[in-house]
Amino acid sequence: MGFEVSIQKYAEHPIPHQVLLSLLRDYKRPNDKIHSLIKEGKLISLKKGLYVWNSNSLPENFSIANVLYNPSYVSLESALSFYGLIPERVFSVSSMTFKTSKKFTNEFGNFEYIKIPTPYYSFGIKRISIRDGQFSLMAMAEKALMDKVITTAGIIIRSEIAAHKFLFENLRIDEDQLKSFNTKEMTSWAEFANKKESLLNVIKVIQNL
């Protein structure tokens, strides 16, 4: 079976360098072949050692984000927009990690990873189906909002009035969806987060809707 046939089963997912070397084991200089495939546009480099096969079934950006830098999960505006909580469409992908903050830019766009502390990191993450065969680790809606509060530089929410302004003027968040938020869980997560006072003021506003 030829290389271009055998690689099709990997087409919907990012492909590590080692997998490519395995598929190219019949070539004397597999790395040269990889560079050639990139030049031809058949192979897309996500970062050093990670690629995507250019086909009709490209992986989703949220799925790429999980693999590009891990452990991580999609959050902030990326998740809030996905859930329909904010009106803006988001073209870059923002994720949380407990490792060093990082940024990547490739043909699929911009990918940003922001460091947050443990054990707060591990709360409120779920596996979301993006489409058939495509999944992503993503913040629950509650966690995405909390992540937004704690990672936005210069934002300290000292009152419920300030929290109301942040939610409905700054973020223009959907009030009806906020009413379904699990504030009990949010309160338990806030115990382990930075900006605890800010988070608790946001939670109070949600509870009073």
pTM above 0.75, yes or no: yes
Mean pLDDT score of the chain, rounded to an integer? 95
What is the Rg, in whole angstroms, of the alpha carbon atoms belonging to the chain?
20
For residues 64, 70, 71 and 76, what is the CA-based torsion angle, rounded to 10 degrees? -50
Nearest Cα to 139, choosing from 188, 66, 40, 89?
66
The answer to whether the CB of 193 falls within 8 A of the CB of 146 is: yes
pLDDT digits (tens, 9 = 90+) for 167-183: 999 999 999 999 999 99
Q: Which tokens go with 18?
A: 């080692």
The answer to whether the CB of 207 falls within 8 A of the CB of 163 is: no
pLDDT digits (tens, 9 = 90+) for 32-71: 999 999 999 999 999 999 999 999 889 999 999 999 999 9
pLDDT digits (tens, 9 = 90+) for 91-121: 899 999 999 999 999 999 999 999 999 999 9
